[in-house]
């Protein structure tokens, strides 16, 4: 009898405990967001997955005007876990973690697009355009820095960094504004970017220099608009030499560019040293001189 009484008492206690536990868990689950997996969650399903669309945390941050500071409340000032115990640095391994430039645009090899803020990678997209052509240089030109066109912010939340839907293009640095022909009538650039048409004009880099095509306009998303002859010479010339031949006071009788500019091009007009082209100096007989 004693054994039966003890067993019965245990069953009663277990039943009461189950009822209390079930009630408590039910109340808890009704007070917190529940993921589809059945687990308790602070964020919706797909929060960490780019393929989840609207639920991806990158989209939420974008919709918040790229403000990641609220994340620090739970994940810590350095995003290393904080009170949540979940570190953002597991995925965001670059310097500054989620606040690294390449988190929003660019890649591990370059902080400039592609991809852009919309995820575009094609150069025909406004956010991509000629970024890499300018920054990495090419077989025909020197490499430029971001500072030639933009004010480089000291951080994500620096004044002027996130303003409206388009990046600020100020073109306030050295090469864009380089004055030439100091010994005669100076050619003074007036760098201008038109955000409506996506065109650039008035820069030293694209023709506003001595014997250059000072009225030249280039389209940011069209690399053909900067073809040989557009910055100096005649893009409709019958030969490559005629396309490249500058007008104005430039010598017209000799179309063999390498005779004087052999430090930049060879006899076939292939660039032997692209870094000497568009670098702000006139390479004449192997020597860099001011225009």
Could you tell me if 167 and 146 are in contact, meaning their C-beta atoms sit under 8 angstroms apart?
no
Cis status, amide bond into 137, omega within 30 of 0: no
What was the pLDDT predicted at 283? 93
What was the pLDDT predicted at 291? 84
Instruction: For the chain, give the number of residues.
Output: 291
Q: Bridge partners of 250?
A: none
pLDDT band per the 50, 70, 90 thresholds, residue 148:
very high
> What is the mean pLDDT of the segment spanning 48-77?
91
Give residues with Cβ within 8 angstroms of 139, minimum separation 6.
271, 274
> What is the mean pLDDT of the segment spanning 51-57?
89
Alpha carbon distance 102, 81 (integer Å): 21
Could you tell me if 150 and 166 are in contact, meaning their C-beta atoms sit under 8 angstroms apart?
no
Could you tell me if 180 and 204 are in contact, meaning their C-beta atoms sit under 8 angstroms apart?
yes
174-208, pLDDT tens digit by residue?
A: 999 999 998 889 999 999 999 999 999 999 999 99
Nearest residue to 123 (alpha-carbon basis) of 140, 104, 131:
131
pLDDT band per the 50, 70, 90 thresholds, residue 7:
very low
What was the pLDDT predicted at 40? 52
Tokens read off for 90: 């597991």
155-179, pLDDT tens digit by residue?
A: 899 888 887 767 889 999 999 999 9
């Amino acid at each position: 009898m004693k054994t039966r009484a003890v067993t019965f008492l245990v069953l009663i206690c277990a039943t009461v405990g189950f009822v209390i536990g079930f009630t408590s868990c039910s109340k808890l689950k009704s007070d917190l967001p529940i993921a589809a997996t059945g687990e308790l969650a602070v964020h919706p399903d797909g929060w960490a997955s780019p393929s989840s669309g609207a639920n991806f945390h990158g989209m939420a941050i974008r919709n918040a005007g790229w403000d990641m500071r609220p994340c620090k409340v739970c994940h810590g000032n350095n995003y290393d876990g904080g009170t949540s115990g979940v570190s953002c640095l597991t995925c965001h391994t670059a310097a500054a973690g989620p606040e690294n430039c390449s988190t929003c645009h660019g890649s591990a090899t370059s902080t400039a697009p592609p991809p852009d803020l919309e995820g575009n990678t094609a150069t025909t997209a406004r956010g991509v355009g000629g970024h890499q052509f300018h920054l990495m240089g090419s077989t025909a030109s020197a490499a430029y820095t971001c500072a030639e066109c933009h004010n480089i912010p000291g951080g994500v939340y620096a004044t002027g960094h996130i303003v409206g839907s388009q990046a600020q293009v100020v073109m306030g640095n050295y090469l864009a504004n380089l004055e030439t022909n100091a010994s005669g009538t100076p050619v003074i650039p007036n760098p201008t970017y038109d955000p409506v048409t996506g065109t650039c004009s008035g820069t030293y880099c694209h023709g506003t220099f001595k014997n250059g095509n000072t009225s030249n306009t280039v389209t940011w998303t069209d690399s053909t608009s900067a073809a040989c002859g557009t910055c100096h010479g005649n893009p409709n010339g019958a030969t490559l030499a005629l396309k490249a031949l500058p007008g104005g006071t430039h010598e017209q009788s000799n179309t063999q560019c390498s005779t004087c500019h052999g430090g930049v091009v060879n006899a076939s007009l292939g660039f032997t040293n692209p870094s000497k082209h568009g670098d702000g100096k006139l390479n004449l007989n192997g020597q860099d001189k001011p225009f």
